[in-house]
Amino acid sequence: MMENGNKKVMVSGIQPSGELHLGNYLGPLRHWPEMIDEFDCYFFLADLHTITVRQNPAELRKRTLALLAQYIACGLDPEKCVLFVQSHVPAHSQLGWVLDCYTMFGELSRMTQFKDKSAKNADNINAGLFTYPVLMAADILLYQPDAVPVGEDQKQHVEICRDIANRFNGVYGDVFKVPEPYIAKVGARIMSLSAPDSKMSKSQPEGCVFLMEKPEDIMRKFKRAVTDSDTERCVRRAPEKPGVSNLIQIYAAATGKSYEDVEAEFEGQGYGKFKPAVGEAVVETLRPIREETERLLADKAYLEGVYRAGAERAAYVAEKTLRKVYKKVGFLPR
């Protein structure tokens, strides 16, 4: 079934650094199950990336397992795709080091996320935070993928990955496939409910909806969602209405409807009806995922079996690429 050399390949990951949120789900994750028949898929839990910011070790372990359960609950069938923990496949760190030596200080300095994160963590601007995109390039290039499905905020990191791959290939021949970012049209950038000028992120929990949150809490966040001062309270997308535009995006992504259909459905109804309707659509989308995650988390042995098998399958492919790279750069084989 897998690694047959004919199917296209896809790889992506999410950091288990916090609770999975609606941005992670509606942006990339909800599309992943649609792809597992067409592609050979590698989906991992990016635990190595999380320690660029201090983590509580016990929490990190717990969240990693919970994220694996959520992957499966969202429809990633471990029989049909490879699910694994990044730190279980040492080739990620090993290729990361090699690629560090083919990445320029200047280009890393221009990464928006580095600038943002170092502003937020002024007391811990560590080297890992700086070289983070290189490790991400290694995560991707090890699997020779065609596509990398991510949200809008990771596009710059996929672009630098392409630059690194092209640079390496320029020196050593075609070692890496140069992948394309795959960014969904609807949901690529879900904004905060409380501050719709910034993206939804776990660092702003008031405006962030978590996948495991209770329905009543989700409803409360939507009812309180920041809109605008339009006196007609018109449900329509517009640059001066970021809050309402974001709610339309969320409703469209959760229900599969087009923006135009959503605007028509709520024409003349005002925000009072619209906001709870969005909340309900989200609650209904998340309910089966939450229930299935809870069920899976009760079966630790099953989850352990999934990540062990996943690490083995991922390592097989990753080590093949790593061997090729080591040979190209001139390391003596063991």
Query: Within 13 Å, how many C-alpha atoms sit on residue 306's CB side?
Result: 30
List the catalytic residue out of 80, 155, 202, 328.
202
- If one asks whether residue 145 binds ligand TYM (CB under 6 A), the answer comes out as no
The dihedral of CA 140, 146, 150, 152: what is its sign?
positive
Query: Is 199 an annotated catalytic residue?
Result: yes
Query: Is 202 an annotated catalytic residue?
Result: yes
Nearer to ligand TYM, 139 or 234 (CB): 139
Contact 129, 114 (CB under 8 A): yes
Query: What is d(CA 69, CA 86) in angstroms, rounded to the nearest whole number?
Result: 15
Q: What's at 90, amino acid-wise?
A: P
Nearer to ligand TYM, 234 or 321 (CB): 321
Bridge partners (DSSP) of residue 313 are none
Residue of 136, 137, 41, 139 whose CA lies nearest to 91: 139
- If one asks whether residue 159 binds ligand TYM (CB under 6 A), the answer comes out as no
- If one asks whether residue 151 binds ligand TYM (CB under 6 A), the answer comes out as yes
Residue of 104, 114, 136 whose CA lies nearest to 53: 114
Site string for ligand TYM, 19-38 (x = CB under 6 A): ----xx--xx----------
Query: For residue 287, what are the contacts with CB-CB under 8 A and spacing of at least 6?
Result: 215
Nearer to ligand TYM, 116 or 261 (CB): 116
User: Which of the stretches 33-41, 59-67, 121-129, 146-154 binds ligand TYM when contact is defined by CB under 6 A?
Assistant: 146-154
- If one asks whether residue 64 binds ligand TYM (CB under 6 A), the answer comes out as no
Reading the block at residue 49, the tokens are 């990336």
Closest distance of CB 51 from ligand TYM, Å: 12
- If one asks whether residue 50 binds ligand TYM (CB under 6 A), the answer comes out as no
Interface residues with ligand TYM (CB under 6 A)?
Answer: 11-15, 23-24, 27-28, 46, 49, 136, 139-140, 148, 150-151, 153-154, 157, 188-190, 199-201
